[in-house]
Chain A
Amino acid sequence: MTTFSDMETVSDVETVPQDLLIVLRHPPHGSQWLREGLDVALVAAAFGQRVGLLFQGDGVYALLKDQQAGALGQKGTHPQMAMLEMYDIDMLWVSETALAERELSADDLMLPMVPLNAEAVAELFARHPRTLIF
């Protein structure tokens, strides 16, 4: 099993600033936060903005493989996640701490992510004057 702690420390190259940083902190199904945050990411990308995504806190649950629609009829966010590549959203960062706290590893995730430690997350925010938090 590959864990993020096995990987090398994130370099500056991997935190190349985008036009817009969108931070996702909520899991699918329980609220509309994740869906509406991803909607902004997709629309901004369609408008020609370079968009980076940071998954923090329970937002990392958006990344889990094998998701389905919610038991209460929620559509889920996995169809939006599947569209990211088509919209050229390929700067995908994830909080290493958030994964570790939930005992998740790279093998559990549907997309290749760049793991960031707390210091790198702080640097990411500092380098993105345009940030939206969901």
Chain B
Amino acid sequence: MLTYALLVHAAPYSHQSALSALRFAETVVARGHRLKTVFFYHDGVHNASALMSPPQDEVHLADGWKRLHEVHGAELLVCVAAGLRRGVLDTSEASRHGLAAHSVEPPFELTGVGQLVDAMLANDRLITFAP
């Protein structure tokens, strides 16, 4: 049994590597390994959008990530600096910046890049998915 962290750089539906990342994550747990952390960075922060509304006959990426949290306890971390620039932020960041709306809900958590470094040190493998 190995522990895994994933680093996702790809925006959902823009590039297949977001889908690859989700499929890999599901396979990690299906094979009996532990998926501890998924870190969303660069355009990957859009995977955390609570407003994501793909057509019903397509994979729902945000729901897929949430399932990995709910069923397997994977933490879903979103880089706050990369998110803020791209309009991906939670209620507390929205109120800090005087914004009326937010786009990130739990179980996705806004966090710093330090958590990415921690995830790399704390797990047997960190796998990057980038366009």
Report which A residues bind B (CB closer than 8 A): 20, 32-33, 36, 39-40, 43-44, 46-47, 49, 130, 132-133
Cβ contact within 8 Å between A47 and B42: no
Number of A-B contacts (CB under 8 A): 35
In the complex, chain B residues whose CB is within 8 Å of the CB of A44: 113, 117
Is the C-beta of B22 less than 8 angstroms from some C-beta in chain A? no
Q: What's the nearest-Cβ distance from chain A to residue B94, in Å?
A: 22
Task: Tell me which of B112, B114, B116, B130 contacts A133 (CB under 8 A).
Answer: B130
Task: List the 4 shortest-distance A-B pairs measured between CB atoms, nearest first.
Answer: A43-B113, A44-B117, A47-B117, A36-B42
Select the residue from A20, A33, A46, A47 with max chain B CB neighbours within 10 A.
A47
State in angstroms the CA–CA spacing of A72 and B116 once bound together.
Answer: 30
Cβ contact within 8 Å between A40 and B113: yes
Cβ contact within 8 Å between A130 and B120: yes
14 A-B contacts (beta carbon < 8 Å): A20-B120, A32-B82, A39-B113, A40-B113, A43-B112, A43-B113, A43-B116, A47-B117, A47-B118, A49-B117, A49-B121, A130-B120, A130-B126, A133-B130
Per-position binary interface string of chain B over residues 105-126, scored 1 when its CB falls under 8 Å from any chain A CB and 0 otherwise: 0000000111011101100001
In the complex, chain A residues whose CB is within 8 Å of the CB of B118: 47
In the complex, chain B residues whose CB is within 8 Å of the CB of A32: 42, 82, 85
Binding site secondary structure of chain B:
helix
Is the C-beta of B84 less than 8 angstroms from some C-beta in chain A? no
Chain B residue at minimum C-beta to C-beta distance from A41:
B113
Contacts A32-B42, A36-B41 hold; do A132 and B113 have CB atoms under 8 A apart? no
Cβ contact within 8 Å between A47 and B114: yes
State in angstroms the CA–CA spacing of A43 and B81 once bound together.
Answer: 12
Is the C-beta of B7 less than 8 angstroms from some C-beta in chain A? yes
In the complex, chain A residues whose CB is within 8 Å of the CB of B130: 133
Is the C-beta of B128 less than 8 angstroms from some C-beta in chain A? yes
Cβ contact within 8 Å between B114 and A36: no
Task: Tell me which of B85, B114, B128 contacts A132 (CB under 8 A).
Answer: B128
